[in-house]
A and B are shown apart, each in its own frame.
Chain A
Amino acid sequence: MKKKKITALLTAFAMTAALATGCGSSEDTQEPASDAAPAGEEASAEESTEEAAPSGDAEAVTIWYYWETEGHQVALDQVIQEYNASQDKYEVTAKYVPFADFKKQLSIGASADELPDIAILDSPDHASYVEMGIFEDLTGKFDVSSYYEGTVNSCTVDGKLYGVPFGVNCLALYYNEDMLKEAGCEVPTTWDELKDTAKKLTKDNVTGLALCSVQNEEGTFNFVPWLWSTGAGSYDINNENGIRALTFIQDLVNEGVMSKECINWTQGDVMNQFIAGNVAMMENGPWQIPTMQAEAPDLNWKVTLLPKDSEYSSVLGGENYAVINGRNVDGALDFLTYATSEEKVKFMMDKFGYISADKTIAESQFEADSPYQPFVEELNYAMPRGPLAEWPSVSDAISLAFNQVITGTASPEDAAAEAQTTIDGIVK
């Protein structure tokens, strides 16, 4: 009888175990980078690689990135192939890790000692991984003096440089020019004008404004410009300014000029609603431009600065290169020196639809009437999130507060107070 009980317990353990083991067993990364390259191009690149590196003893350098856009993968791959062909000491390969898994893979990789040599990661997460101690100190190895200050800050911890900005983006306001003309509206520059315009544009199946409001980092990215525009800081929400920002967003939803569905819309979804004509204005980034031009060539849209409360404000996004320590650091540095040369940066930025993190390149990167140009101007007002190792927790508090007011589960005052309590517990 006793034996039976033990067997029963063991079997029960086994039955429930699948669950606990599920946590660390994901190996769903793929390598589409080379698949994505056009066959001819790849073949020629391979030939030249063989010429330059006939022996198989080139040191391997691996890169992880999360871009799912084919154009991005092809451009990065081309730079890598050219690099491999230019020398025979290192052989660089890139591996695609889906964005949703990227943080998890880096965490698991860090504890299992299975990391790449270079990671191209989302800038707000940079500080967390520096704290983890997996990034190499790059101070003095790269000249970042001409880079946008915010981008350099995002990879600087305690005065030391732990990465090199790859490209930069920020959020601005897209508007449907035809709809604005039809409603007889000017382009809004202040919050009051924005609300007014959004009201006039809202009719039938069209809502005036949309912004991605999901409850995660993506949502926080879209919320903080509104917060900062009032003069409130990321760690300082429970005051008149912070409450005003929350109230403004809540009013937009309550008055029906912004759909509550925004809490389930990613930035891509928001863009799709915009090009489908369901939304007249949206907050979004420059990386949507290539898709919009391809999928809705006839849509008449323009980009302008995000309307302001007391000051213009936007949020800095983009990726940074980071070198993993204790691995092939020399190889990684060699490739990065190659990839951050002006010629290569220009090539990749153009292919990516990105703005260069190097201010001198960015300012001459686009024609005056290019849709990218407003984003270059907006960059002057853009600030980074953090950098703070605990940023993910702060971000969670901020996106929670905005979600509470949007869904009406808390008043702006209560939401601000709750967020402040959480943030005070993190940032002492």
Chain B
Amino acid sequence: MKKIKKIFRYDNVGILFVLPAFLYMLIFVGYPIVRNIILSFQDVNAGNLVRGTKNFILFDNYLELFQDNVFRTSLFNTLRYTVLCLVFQFVIGFALALFFSKRFSFAKPVRGILLVPWMIPVTVTALMFKLLFATDIGVINYILRSLHLISSNIEWLTTPGTAMFALICANIWIGIPFNMILISTGLTTIPKELYESASIDGANKVQTFFSITLPLLKPTIESVLILGFIYTFKVYDLVYVMTSGGPVNSTHMLSTYSYKLSFEMFKYSKGSAVANVLLVILLIVGVFYIKATTAGEEE
């Protein structure tokens, strides 16, 4: 009896509460990750997936990957795509958030409508942009032609450089509402009194923005950027539907290339190695996120 009481002491009860979540994480998150890491150190392909020995070749998969042009392209693409998307999403989202923080008629309903891109399933958005950017029947070429900006149709999705541009455009459109809403929420937490006293002291709009709005929004901005980075970095559906990594492998991302290696070419180990590269990069970003969000609490 005493023993049981001991088990249910205050501290231990806390652990019991955490236990279900911990077990869940261990089985459904921890196990796949560990398996995936082991898989990437082996040489598993169609020949030995079911029978035969799975040789450990340690870092050979990774070494081969870094010599693989398509992998290097996808790594570079993923970084370029993420950074460009993030910059434009953030700037436009921030501007819209500031705009809608002003009180004017219909400010709130319009801001709600702007959320639509975030709510549409990505595959639908991807199909829509695929049609917008189509060479002969696309609306974008039609508008550009009508404005006499171009003389012949631009082959957006069938030329390597412009295909990437089209993907980035589509994703910026999707990501703006996310940035806008989080920053809007952040703006409402800034006390009005600060702005009032600033205006009494004679600060102009620009000074107010840089001395009050930005510093007080710092935690929000950090969260938005890091969460945005993670969402953008693991893009899969948008690319798969719009270009499938083409033309000529020029728009492959780490995620799409991993899928292709694993399930189209039966190179399971190499595919998992690509996924692990993705994991490591996001892990680093994740640590920054935790640091940024807990920094305030520690003080």
Contact = CB atoms under 8 A, between A and B. Distances in A.
Interface of A: 4, 7-9, 11-21, 23-24, 103-104, 107, 110-111, 128-129, 131-134, 205, 214-217, 259-261, 263-264, 389-390, 392-393, 396, 400, 403-404, 407, 409-410
Contact of B266 (A16, A20, A128): A128
B157 A103 contact: no
Contact of A14 (B29, B272, B291): B29
B299 interface: no
B282 A131 contact: no
B29 A409 contact: no
Contacts of B49: 107, 110-111, 132
B263 A103 contact: yes
9 contacts: A12-B283, A20-B276, A21-B33, A23-B32, A128-B266, A205-B136, A214-B244, A263-B246, A409-B250
Contacts of B283: 12-13, 16
A213 B169 CA distance: 25
A209 to B, nearest CB: 16
A214 B279 contact: no
A214 B159 CA distance: 14
B282 A393 contact: no
Given A132-B49, A264-B158, A392-B265, A16 B282 contact: yes
Contact of B248 (A13, A16, A110, A409): A409
Contact of A403 (B28, B234, B248): B248
Q: What is the interface of chain A mostly: helix, strand, loop, or mixed? A: helix
A17 B46 contact: no
B28, B249, B290, B291: most-surrounded residue (chain A CB, <10 A): B290
A410 B249 CA distance: 13
A263 B247 contact: yes
Interface in B247-291: 247-250, 255, 258, 262-268, 272, 275-276, 278-279, 282-283, 286-287, 289-291
A263 B265 contact: no
A384 to B, nearest CB: 18
A273 to B, nearest CB: 10
Contact of A19 (B243, B249, B279): B279
B46 A20 contact: no
Nearest to A113: B50
B160 A407 contact: yes
Nearest to B22: A10
B32 to A, nearest CB: 4
Interface in B111-157: 130, 134-136, 155, 157
Top 10 A-B residue pairs of the complex, sorted by shortest distance between their CB atoms:
A12-B286, A8-B290, A16-B282, A17-B29, A104-B263, A21-B32, A133-B51, A128-B46, A407-B247, A260-B158
B107 interface: no
A54 to B, nearest CB: 38
Contacts of B250: 409
Interface in B210-246: 230, 234, 243-246
B294 interface: yes
